[in-house]
Homo-oligomer: A and B are copies of this chain.
Amino acid sequence: MGSTSCTCEYCQLKNIFFAHVKSHELDNICDLKVERSYSKGESIIQEGDPITEFVYMKKGLVKLSKASIDGKDQIISFSKPFDFVSLLSVFSSDQYKYSVTAIDQTTVCILQLDVVKKYAEENALFAMDMMSNISQMTDKIIHDSLEIKRKHLKGRIAHVLLYFSDYIYKKDEFELPISRREIAEYIGMTTENVIRTLSEFRKDKIIKIFGKDILIADKKRLKNISDFG
């Protein structure tokens, strides 16, 4: 049973998300799934879109954002592989409350929402897995949001740099996937002040900057600024 062309059984996500879906059900899911790729800057989900699909990330990096009443964008968070970018709205609304945009070459897998809901209704362990995923995702968003809120501009910039260094790239040298303006949209400050603070860090030899390439030279100090600055 099941088509031999299904590659889901080799997908890394299988054991994380589909741990409690039976093998023959997985074949079924596999036949129904669609894989899509997006290059940097492309829109994956638009705020207000009806939620008819269930989207999860296989590869790449995206931002979740929301337009505010005055037309400006606010970035809610970033998602990397194994995150389920639909989850935030999918069980509370019939349309997306935020947009999802690729900020790096990104591959997602897509299932029809009614298929996923049917599985969840029939398979409580699968539903529990989803709950755990939602919960972890929102825990992170709320935690980061509180951290950013209590910090001054310098601490916020330090926080963002450490976020990409420690959480996303796990390297001290990386290419910033977002512009200074987007950093500003994430931490709630002006673009000019983001640029200025990065320049200060450079002058203080805490980081090195070559355009979008960042090298963290003094992580201890950056951590200190993030915690108490």
Contacts and interface: CB of A to CB of B under 8 A. Distances in A.
Interface in A100-131: 117, 120-125, 127-128, 130-131
24 contacts: A68-B146, A69-B227, A70-B228, A72-B150, A76-B142, A87-B135, A88-B135, A89-B135, A90-B135, A91-B131, A91-B134, A91-B135, A92-B132, A97-B143, A117-B128, A120-B127, A120-B131, A121-B125, A124-B124, A130-B131, A131-B134, A134-B134, A138-B138, A148-B149
Q: How many copies does the complex hold?
A: 2
Interface in A119-168: 120-125, 127-128, 130-132, 134-136, 138-139, 141-143, 145-150
Contact of A127 (B92, B131, B135, B141): B131
Contacts of A124: 120-124, 127
Contact of A74 (B89, B117, B141, B149): B149
A33 interface: no
Given A70-B150, A89-B139, A131-B131, 14 more contacts: A69-B227, A69-B228, A72-B150, A74-B150, A76-B142, A88-B142, A91-B132, A91-B134, A92-B135, A93-B139, A120-B127, A122-B124, A127-B131, A130-B131
A142 B138 contact: yes
A143 B130 CA distance: 21
Contacts of A148: 149
Interface residues on A, range: 35 or more
Interface string A190-228: 000000000000000000000000000000000000011
A75 to B, nearest CB: 9
A228 B125 CA distance: 46
Contacts of A72: 150
A108 to B, nearest CB: 20
Nearest to A66: B146
Contact of A142 (B93, B121, B141): B141
B97 A136 contact: no
A81 interface: no
